[in-house]
Amino acid sequence: MYDVVIIGGGVTGCAAAAELSKYELSVCVIEKESDVCEGTSKANSAIVHAGFDAEPGTLKARLNVRGNEMIHELYKKLDFAFKNNGAMVLCFDEAQLPELEKLKAKGEKNGVAGLEILTGEQAREREPQLSAEVKFALYAPTSGIVCPFEMTLAFAENAFENGAEFRLGTEVTAIENTDGGYKVVTDKGTFESRAVFNCAGVYADKISAMVGADSFTITPRKGEYMLLDKEAGGIVKHTIFQLPTKMGKGILVTPTVHGNLLVGPTAENIDDKENTATTSAGLAEVRAKGSLSVEGLPFNKVITAFTGLRAVGDTHDFIIDQPVEGFFNAAGIESPGLTSAPAIAEYMREMLSEFMDLKPKADYKDTRRGVVHFAELSREEQNALIKEKPEYGNIVCRCETITEGEILDAIERPLGATTLDGVKRRTRAGMGRCQAGFCSPRTIMLLSEKLGCGIGEVRKNGRKGEKD
């Protein structure tokens, strides 16, 4: 019998696991994919939003601002890439100035510090590549960019190191009531638990309905993105938004925390919760709308395109509640879900504390060390590392300068990678401009050797790659 079963190993579930692992609780994360960070958490804008966008008084507003504040500290302790680069929201029509001012007032009400309206010239002074059509911009200094894979993995590994269990490749099929709580039925056996956290992303409505709480639905909202080569990464320094619409924050142009340029997303509500295909129409829209903010974006430097699904609830706010005693929802976690994740976890822990006694763990470890990135070390550190482990002297991914040592670390560390995508998210091997053409045969060999399986059994992603 667990104290808490968390359904979903995305950023919300992993942040919740990390939060609960501070206490004397037995926690188990159940994830249907073979790795954590396989759904919405891996395909989004990777922005730590300032918090001016959400309606004041909503959970979104409160948890966004709190999450932003937490990430500004957490990234040091949990060792994930974060940069406080600031954001601008552009308007292209002088008549839209009142809307920008409204956004500023909303942000201030939400507690966002430092918001400032810039004229087009002032905006271009700070960001010279902005279109000449920009009339005004709202500047938000607390906005940042993060590596969403690293952040999710950091939460997961921190939770794991503090005793949380992870059952990957395990899909929940039913939830039954028992005397002392719930029986979570999966394709790999049943798990009994006093409490259940539903952090199931686009499937959160289905999971909630399993305990009879079917008051909301989650609509996947498709967002297509294009990622540009690092040669284009310096075109803008800030995250560049356009005035938001009903469907979201529009197409943004932003550097990524690792120095690429990201343009997107589109916003299209769909029915299929698995449809992460890009479309030619979507990518054309990304090109057209991105170019409004920054003229002449070099789309010949695109290295990949991808689609993410936002889990959009029908209440216009995050759905974080306890519809049935001991069953907690974190549903409708669309943008700013990534930013809010640690705050959502904190909020859910507070809710849980009303339901069961939480006793702080004496030996809780509040830090976690990520994969050591060889390329970021000083010459002395590099040589010391190679002396200790010669595999760090062998570059496997030439585009991102990732060594064999890092790939072995990614495979061997707690909750280690079992797929090519898993290695990629932990090390960046294969994320560069050749998109794994060079390194994938080498990474496949390393995975095959370490997992003890044939080359043909090494998978790119998917559900059947987990270690026993």
Interacting residues toward another protein by CB under 8 A: 227, 274, 276-280, 282-283, 302-306, 379, 382-383, 386-387, 390-391, 393-395, 398-399, 401, 433-438, 440-441, 444-445, 455-456, 459-463
Task: Please report where in the chains the tokens 């002074």 appear, as a residue.
Answer: 125
Between residues 18 and 253, which has the closer beta carbon with respect to another protein? 253
User: At 17, is the secondary structure helix, strand, or coil?
Assistant: helix
- As a whole number of angstroms, the distance between CA 118 and CA 124 comes to 9
Quick one: CA torsion of 295, 298, 300, 305, rounded to 10 degrees?
A: -90
Write the burial class of residue 141 (CB in 10 Å: 0-12 exposed, 13-18 middle, 19+ buried): middle
**Cβ atoms of 262 and 110 closer than 8 Å:** no
Between residues 249 and 463, which has the closer beta carbon with respect to another protein? 463
User: At 325, is the secondary structure helix, strand, or coil?
Assistant: coil
Task: Please report where in the chains the tokens 């609780």 appear, as a residue.
Answer: 25
49 labelled catalytic: yes
What's the min distance (Å) between Cβ of 203 and another protein? 15
What's the min distance (Å) between Cβ of 248 and another protein? 21
Between residues 119 and 383, which has the closer beta carbon with respect to another protein? 383
What's the min distance (Å) between Cβ of 223 and another protein? 14
The catalytic residue among 49, 72, 258, 316 is 49
- 356: which residues sit within 8 A by CB, 6+ positions away? 3, 25, 194, 195
**Cβ atoms of 131 and 295 closer than 8 Å:** yes
What's the min distance (Å) between Cβ of 39 and another protein? 12
Return contacts of 174-178, CB within 8 angstroms, 24+ apart: 174/210, 175/207, 175/210, 175/211, 175/327, 177/211
Between residues 121 and 380, which has the closer beta carbon with respect to another protein? 380
Between residues 209 and 386, which has the closer beta carbon with respect to another protein? 386
Catalytic positions, please? 49
